[in-house]
Amino acid sequence: MPIPLADLAQRVGAQLQGDGSVPIARVATLEAAGPDAIAFLTNPRYRGKLQSTRAGAVIVSPASANDTALPKLVSANPYAVYAKVAILLHPREAAPAGVHPSAVIGQGARIASSASIAALCVIGEGAVIGERVTIGPACAIGAGAAIGEDSLLHANVTIYHQCTLGRRAIVHSGAVIGADGFGMAEENGRWIKIPQTGRVVIGDDVEIGANTTIDRGAIEDTVVEDDVKLDNQIQIGHNCRIGAHTAIAGCAGIAGSTRIGRNCKIGGAALIGGHLTIADDVTISGATQVFDSIDVPGMYTGVIAPLPHREWRRWASALRRLTTFEGRLRALEGTARKEQPDTRPDGEP
């Protein structure tokens, strides 16, 4: 149902400029918006599209407020305002409460009457499903697992035994939470599997992308704190701890026993070695490889720019010879010191 622009301004904490009675029913891009939609501008390169948009209203920063005569919501953080408006205009549709007849419910499982359990789900013994939880088709919830209130699991999510999700979690299809960590001991050329007896403990307001995997702890728990946002196809090893409000982009890999601080941002395909510590407020660029702990907040990048293939081969060949070059340089420096004439005054040590 459309919401007057003035009401949106009040509910999202933005400044209203222009006609507040304009009814807004949806969000859209500047190019695709119609009179019933509100669009937003965050990137200055699209400022020219403000003149041609057919949107009923726009969301802009103070710097762009004078670039259009359309009714507008003005905020220093227009993207955050857009997110709040989108939530109001496109709320998640509540699934009907109840348990589908094809679901299998283990003995002693406790399922809130307001929860929705879809077809072909398996809920393990003693599992706890909170109020207004929605569990999509073919999900598997292990024995003793717990899902906090208002959480949403899309189809084919697997939560292993004893793992816990906090309130308002969103877990996308194919995610696996609580599989065994990669714990092996080598003896006489063979591997001995180490039982993984910890859990995965996930806080409130966490979102976990499709096909992301979070391994259970070997002894202590793997912990994902409140408001962490994980993209698709991320691997988090056993015994890791991810600090609150951290966001990690797709295909990142985090080896076991690594601790990542609060408010960190980790780019796509970044690789972080095991048993490291990343401080709070660290940003790691995409495809960066981290082999040592990071103790100082800031932005870290370790990406080599692409080169034409022949040039890259010459560069790689030179890089392989750096150790040889270093040895030759040290030898030359040693020879130079030996050949340098002694200019000290007589008798000076």
B/e letters for 65-82, b = 16+ CB within 10 Å, e = fewer, are bebbebbbbbbeebeebb
Q: What residues does 24 pair with on adjacent strands?
A: 3
Q: Is pLDDT at 316 greater than 90 in this prediction? A: no
| Residue 347 reports pLDDT greater than 60 | no
Structure confidence at residue 303 (pLDDT)? 82
Q: Say how many C-beta atoms besides its own lie within 10 A of residue 144's C-beta.
A: 19
Quick one: pLDDT at residue 306?
A: 84
Query: What rounded mean pLDDT belongs to the chain?
Result: 95
pLDDT of amino acid 330: 84
Summarize pLDDT for 19-46 with one digit per residue, the tens.
999 999 999 999 999 999 999 999 888 8
Mean pLDDT across the stretch 108-134? 98
The pLDDT of 128-150, averaged and rounded, is 98
* pLDDT (mean) for 262-271: 98
Distances (CA, A) of 109 to 66, 122, 128, 132: 58, 11, 6, 16
Cβ atoms within 10 Å, residue 289: 13
3-state secondary structure of 227: coil
* 125 touches 104 (CB < 8 A): no
Q: Would the pLDDT of 345 be above 70?
A: no
Rounded CA gap, 319 and 81, in Å? 48
Neighbours of 266 (CB within 10 A): 28
Distance of CA 96 to the CA centre of its chain: 29
Lowest mean pLDDT across 94-103, 120-129, 229-238, 335-344: 335-344
Contact 244, 228 (CB under 8 A): yes
Question: What is the pLDDT at residue 344?
Answer: 57
What are the catalytic residues? 238
Average pLDDT over residues 218-238: 98
Please enumerate in sequence order all residues whose Cβ is within 8 A of that of 180, keeping only pairs 6 or more positions apart, or say none: 196, 215, 216, 238
Helices marked H in the chain: 5-12, 78-89, 309-320, 322-339
Per-residue CA distances from 81 to 38, 64, 106, 120 (Å): 11, 15, 43, 39
Task: For 321-337, write each residue's pLDDT tens digit.
Answer: 888 888 888 888 777 67
CA distances from 88 to 133, 152, 172, 206, 268 (A): 20, 18, 22, 20, 29
Residue 329 is predicted with a pLDDT of: 83
Average pLDDT over residues 255-278: 98
State what percent of residues in the chain have pLDDT above 90: 85
More confident residue, 320 or 79: 79
Q: Tell which phi-psi region holds residue 260, choosing left (phi > 0), alpha (psi between -120 and 50) or beta.
A: beta
Which residue is it, tokens 């697997």?
158
| pLDDT tens column, 54-92 | 999 999 999 999 999 999 999 999 999 999 999 999 998
pLDDT for 340 beyond 70:
no
**What mean pLDDT do residues 230-259 have?**
98
Strands 15-17 and 72-74: antiparallel
Q: Residue 349 pLDDT > 70, yes or no?
A: no
Estimate to the nearest angstrom the gap between the alpha carbon of 92 and the chain centroid. 21
How many other C-beta atoms lie within 10 A of the C-beta of residue 26?
A: 15
∠ Cα 185 164 267 (to 5°): 70
Which pLDDT belongs to residue 234? 98
* Helix (H) / strand (E) containing 123: strand 122-123
pLDDT of res. 75: 98
- Contact between 8 and 88 under an 8 Å Cβ cutoff? The reply is yes
Local structure of 59: helix, strand or coil: strand
pLDDT digits (tens, 9 = 90+) for 173-213: 999 999 999 999 999 999 999 999 999 999 999 999 999 99
Q: What is the pLDDT of residue 268?
A: 98
User: What residue ranges define each of the domains in the chain, with the CATH number in brackets?
Assistant: 3-89 (3.40.1390.10), 98-300 (2.160.10.10)
